[in-house]
Amino acid sequence: MSAAPAVADPLLDVSGLHVELMIDGVLRPVIHDVSLQIRAGEAVGLVGESGSGKSMTARAIARLLPAGAVVDGSISFGGRKVLELGPRELRGYRTDGIAMIFQDPRAHTNPVRRIGDFLTETLRTSKGVREDEAKRRAVATLAEVGIEDGARRLRQFPHELSGGMLQRVMIAAALLSEPQLLLADEPTTALDVTTQSEVMAILDDLRRERGLAMLFITHDLELAGAICDRTCVMYAGSIVEQQSSAGLNTDPLHPYTAALLAARPRLDATAERLAAIAGRPRSAFEAPEGCAFADRCPYREPQCTAEQQVLRPLGTSLVRCRRAEEVHPELRALSEKAGARG
């Protein structure tokens, strides 16, 4: 619920991003024409199934793509052109511009180094902070993410901490360099639901207290709906819909979003049969010509595959479907039937 959103320039502005990666020895597209903006203090959700390109989008923003990736388009961050940064500027950008947290904290910590080393490394090496001061700040930040006995934790190794605890350490590490944008890639997927609730609340508090911008990647539409201002839905490397998170769960505009909502089992009612989507999710390079979702879409017409679909405004939202206005009443009826009884 941002009060005056239109005035501020976006902190992050991704425009016409295309990424190709070497897959099986061939350059293949994995991200196709992705544009998105995030303002300071704003949380934007990026939702999609595996292979939709959501993690690759975050990696492109962090300049962490695999070697050999071919990137086209522009990424600008607070006026800096991210794709043109040299090594020194890039280090600065990754220190106080952005920070990233991942799904599996154990895969992103060094098992033979203590939590204290891990937390204070950036401060000591990139910011020239003295060790005792770095430790003091680490303990204070741990307290911010709900770990009170920080001094003891600094002496521990990753294996001595539970998954939820270690993810909090990851968040603390991300915050210590005081970034303006947090890229959170499924940070709660591997956690228990009660821990997820706790970690999400911490992220939400930090966003409000620090004016931190966040790109929140998840496969859970309802989780994105609960904590993001806006959500983008990705399919086969493209954004197919962008709208307010509240609207996404009740009033989807793209047939894919509606199909995803209808396919979920519900917590408050048993469906006679789940409305499964035929086929399987596609990667960008496997997608058919024209609309990438066309081969699984019940509203497909010959035109849909004949022409390239563009992300275009519809009301206050964006949608990449030529029949969006036409099918809207049907999609709305479908999602009303599928849910929102809670």
- Report, in Å, the least distance between residue 102 CB and other proteins: 17
Q: Does 274 bind other proteins (CB under 8 A)?
A: yes
The residues, ordered by sequence, that sit 6+ positions from 65 with a Cβ below 8 Å of its Cβ are: 19, 21, 56, 59, 71
Q: How far apart, in whole angstroms, are the C-alpha atoms of residue 172 and residue 337?
A: 42
Q: Which two tokens stand for residue 201?
A: 């609340």
The residues, ordered by sequence, that sit 6+ positions from 234 with a Cβ below 8 Å of its Cβ are: 34, 46, 47, 48, 52, 53, 54, 57, 240
Beta-ladder partners of 34: 17
Give the nearer residue to other proteins in terms of CB position, either 89 or 222: 222
- Is there a contact between 244 and 318 (Cβ–Cβ < 8 Å)? no
Q: Does 260 bind other proteins (CB under 8 A)?
A: yes
Scan residues 277-316 and list those touching other proteins (CB under 8 A).
Answer: 277, 280-281
Q: Does 49 bind other proteins (CB under 8 A)?
A: yes
Q: Does 249 bind other proteins (CB under 8 A)?
A: yes
Q: Which of 205, 301, 326, 336 binds other proteins (CB under 8 A)?
A: 205
Q: Which of 21, 223, 253, 292 binds other proteins (CB under 8 A)?
A: 223
Query: SS3 of 276, please?
Result: coil
* Nearest CA among 191, 235, 304, 213 for reference residue 46: 235
- Is there a contact between 36 and 11 (Cβ–Cβ < 8 Å)? no
Q: Does 337 bind other proteins (CB under 8 A)?
A: no
Query: SS3 of 230, please?
Result: strand
Task: Kindly state the number of chain residues that form the binding site for other proteins, as judged by CB under 8 A.
Answer: 55
Q: Which of 63, 80, 219, 332 binds other proteins (CB under 8 A)?
A: 219
Residue 153: in which H helix or E strand, if any? helix 150-154
Q: Does 42 bind other proteins (CB under 8 A)?
A: no
Q: How far apart, in whole angstroms, are the C-alpha atoms of residue 188 and residue 117?
A: 24
Q: Which stretch binds other proteins (CB under 8 A): 112-120, 197-205, 312-320, 321-329?
A: 197-205
Query: C-alpha 158: how far from its chain's center?
Result: 25
Q: Does 67 bind other proteins (CB under 8 A)?
A: no
Q: Which stretch binds other proteins (CB under 8 A): 35-43, 72-80, 198-206, 237-245?
A: 198-206
Query: SS3 of 8, please?
Result: coil
Q: Does 158 bind other proteins (CB under 8 A)?
A: no
Q: Which of 163, 247, 288, 290 binds other proteins (CB under 8 A)?
A: 163
Q: Which stretch binds other proteins (CB under 8 A): 179-187, 191-199, 308-316, 322-330?
A: 191-199
Residues that bind other proteins (CB under 8 A): 49-50, 143, 146-149, 162-165, 168, 192-202, 204-205, 219-220, 222-223, 225-227, 249-250, 259-260, 263-271, 273-277, 280-281, 339-340, 342
